[in-house]
């Protein structure tokens, strides 16, 4: 399935940029300190440590009640993109 492959590649790129996948909420999150410098300049300093990107509003928003132990740090390239290859 070609779309599965594209999803897997997108997940790999997000993981490479230090985004982590929260399987319980099906949500990509990142620690604010790990954002690229140009992005840090554009976001609100009031945002908490963990944030996500809201594609409806097209802005970074707080990620509620993050449990870092439940975040997937790397995604499998060969699988569907939802397989866990390693935890934080």
Between the alpha carbon of residue 17 and those of residues 2, 46, 53, the distances in Å are 23, 22, 14
Query: How many alpha carbons lie under 13 Å from residue 38 in its C-beta half-sphere?
Result: 0
Quickly list H helices, the chain.
2-16, 37-42
- Eight-state DSSP code of residue 63: P
- Residue 22's nearest CA partner among 56, 54, 78, 63 is 63
pTM to 2 decimal places: 0.74
Residue numbers in the chain where pLDDT is lower than 70? 1-2, 74-88
pLDDT digits (tens, 9 = 90+) for 38-47: 999 999 889 9
């Amino acid at each position: 399935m070609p779309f599965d492959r594209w999803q897997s590649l997108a997940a790999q790129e997000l993981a490479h940029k230090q985004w982590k996948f929260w399987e319980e909420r099906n949500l990509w999150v990142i620690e604010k300190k790990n954002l690229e410098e140009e992005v840090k300049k554009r976001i609100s300093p009031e945002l908490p440590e963990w944030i996500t990107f809201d594609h409806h509003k097209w802005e970074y928003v707080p990620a509620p009640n993050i449990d870092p132990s439940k975040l997937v740090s790397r995604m499998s390239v060969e699988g569907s993109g939802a397989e866990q290859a390693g935890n934080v």
